[in-house]
């Protein structure tokens, strides 16, 4: 397909989707979520077409943002955010904008790319806050995510099985041709049998990010989803996510998936949750090891060595970043996506840790702001659990607490929050988190469930969770 033909198709899609989405921004958000699991595959099929990575942003996210801004819902969404969180975000956004003007920055194009990576998806907080108004809208958003989980996960598992049967390079090349090498980080394999599997994403880290994020709607809907078909689908999808994650070839999966599930079940069930997580992981590990060809002893040693190595090395990386600068070198100066926009891409080095990258670009104050909003979201979710008690939305608060804690820790190892699709879903989940008290209030008003009076006193009185009423 020629560049001219692709350009004409792209222009027609652009006009068509913008015409649909601008007057109905919720549709834009929904289309983005539905496109998300195949966005990476589309990028690989179009490889090396420049700008393919921006398709979802241009066709869906941008018109959704504009449509939301002109919809008249911006004020109510802003009013629904806690003042303290708003202050932290103003500090964060302000520091990013100030560092965009840093005279020692990497150049205009690299700065623009850096700004996109830092801030483009932050408005998803407001879209998530406005989209979720009651149980129905929360379920609709969750069902959109859950409905496509099987597609990337089954593709990933099939890629692994075909790699065992036909050969790793040949199997992945069947899916993505010349782009297969880039999608697998040069067909990376490990002595213990792990293989980098991209599934329907541009590279394995994106695939794992997607899996980690999908635990939120799966676990969150435990009590609010009453339809049997969705209950069955969720029950089957949970082990599928775990197995697919372990077979993604991403070493962090063997740490992050148990960590997130342990956090969720411990918050929900205490000591029983810890026992349940242990039994679940043991069973799923047995399934994975029986079909994957992974050497369990080699895997154990690799994970142990990796954990020890990253704990020490990334601390040294953060210390090194502080030695280089504590005021920041400007937006885009340490952003991997900005490498090709610099004068000397070969000399453009980036820190692997998100926190080291933050220091390099935003300085020590930026690290404080980044740490604050991540810790805040986790603590707010935990506090919400104590307020909602055993209500139907409590599992959602627990799932989000697990997600936010997981990324808080995972960002120590890499720039995880910069990667698709976590860069969008992280902020969307933050907005949904702040909508959960509204969902509870609507449910109480409609009398659809009875909750302990003390747990919801702060909602009936109109007080906010932030005030601690």
Mean pLDDT for back-to-back runs of 10 residues, the chain (469 residues): 74 92 96 95 86 91 97 92 94 96 88 94 97 93 95 97 95 94 91 93 95 96 89 94 95 93 91 89 92 90 83 86 89 83 67 92 95 96 83 90 95 90 96 90 58 41 40
Q: Check residue 449 and give its pLDDT.
A: 45
Euclidean distance between CA atoms 92 and 362, whole angstroms: 9
Q: Which of 325, 343, 400 is nearest to 106 (CA)?
A: 343
Q: Check residue 149 and give its pLDDT.
A: 95
Q: Check residue 458 and give its pLDDT.
A: 41
DSSP 431-459: HHHHHHHHHHHHHHHHTSS---TTTTHHH
- Cα dihedral angle (86, 89, 90, 94), rounded to 10 degrees? 180
Q: Check residue 174 and give its pLDDT.
A: 95
Euclidean distance between CA atoms 106 and 344, whole angstroms: 10
Euclidean distance between CA atoms 106 and 113, whole angstroms: 11
Q: Check residue 338 and give its pLDDT.
A: 78
Q: Which of 135, 85, 79, 119 is nearest to 392 (CA)?
A: 135
The 3-class SS string of 31-51 reads HHHHHHHHHHHHHHHCCCCCC
| Residue 107 near residue 116 (C-beta atoms within 8 A) | no
Q: Check residue 36 and give its pLDDT.
A: 95
Q: Check residue 421 and give its pLDDT.
A: 92
The sign one gets for the Cα dihedral 360, 361, 364, 370 is negative
Cβ-in-10-Å burial (0-12, 13-18, 19+) of 103 comes to exposed
The sign one gets for the Cα dihedral 357, 361, 362, 364 is positive
Q: Check residue 404 and give its pLDDT.
A: 97
Q: Which of 39, 380, 25 is nearest to 209 (CA)?
A: 39
Q: Which of 142, 144, 382, 391 is nearest to 264 (CA)?
A: 382
Q: Check residue 74 and give its pLDDT.
A: 94
Q: Check residue 16 and give its pLDDT.
A: 94
Q: Check residue 397 and give its pLDDT.
A: 93
């Amino acid at each position: 397909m020629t560049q001219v033909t692709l350009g004409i198709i792209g222009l027609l899609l652009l006009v068509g989707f913008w015409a649909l989405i601008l007057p109905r921004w919720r549709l834009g958000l929904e289309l983005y979520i539905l496109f998300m699991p195949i966005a990476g595959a589309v990028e690989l099929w179009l490889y090396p077409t420049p700008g393919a990575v921006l398709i979802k942003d241009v066709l869906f996210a941008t018109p959704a943002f504009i449509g939301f801004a002109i919809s008249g819902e911006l004020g109510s969404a802003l009013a629904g955010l806690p003042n303290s969180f708003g202050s932290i975000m103003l500090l964060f956004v302000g520091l990013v904008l100030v560092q965009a003007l840093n005279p020692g920055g990497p150049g205009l194009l690299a700065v623009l790319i850096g700004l996109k990576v830092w801030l483009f998806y932050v408005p998803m907080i407001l879209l998530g806050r406005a989209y979720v108004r009651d149980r129905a809208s929360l379920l609709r958003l969750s069902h959109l995510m859950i409905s496509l989980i099987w597609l990337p996960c089954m593709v990933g598992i099939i890629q692994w099985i075909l790699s065992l049967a036909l050969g790793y390079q040949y199997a992945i090349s069947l899916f993505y041709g010349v782009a297969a090498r880039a999608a697998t980080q040069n067909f990376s394999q490990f002595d213990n049998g792990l293989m980098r599997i991209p599934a329907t994403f541009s590279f394995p880290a994106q695939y794992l990010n997607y899996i980690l994020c999908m635990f939120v709607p799966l676990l969150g809907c435990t009590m609010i989803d009453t339809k049997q078909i969705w209950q069955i689908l969720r029950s089957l999808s949970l082990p599928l996510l775990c197995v697919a994650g372990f077979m993604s070839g991403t070493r962090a999966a063997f740490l992050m998936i148990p960590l997130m599930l342990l956090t969720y079940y411990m918050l929900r069930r205490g000591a029983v949750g810890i026992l349940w997580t242990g039994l679940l992981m043991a069973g799923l590990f047995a399934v994975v090891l029986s079909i994957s060809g992974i050497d369990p002893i080699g895997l154990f040693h690799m994970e142990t060595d990796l954990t020890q190595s990253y704990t020490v090395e990334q601390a040294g990386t953060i210390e090194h970043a502080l030695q280089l600068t504590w005021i920041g070198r400007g937006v885009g100066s340490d952003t991997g996506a900005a490498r090709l926009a610099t004068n000397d891409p070969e000399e453009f080095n980036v820190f692997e840790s998100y926190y080291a990258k933050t220091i390099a670009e935003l300085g020590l104050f930026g690290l404080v702001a980044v740490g604050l909003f991540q810790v805040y979201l986790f603590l707010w979710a935990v506090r919400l659990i104590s307020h909602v008690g055993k209500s139907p939305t409590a599992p959602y608060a627990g799932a989000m607490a697990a997600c936010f804690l997981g990324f808080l820790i995972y960002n120590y190892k890499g720039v995880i929050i910069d990667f698709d699709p976590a860069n969008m879903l992280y902020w969307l989940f933050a907005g949904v988190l702040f909508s959960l008290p509204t969902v509870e209030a609507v449910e109480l008003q409609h009398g659809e469930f009875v909750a302990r009076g003390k747990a919801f006193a702060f909602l009936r009185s109109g007080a906010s969770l932030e005030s601690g009423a």
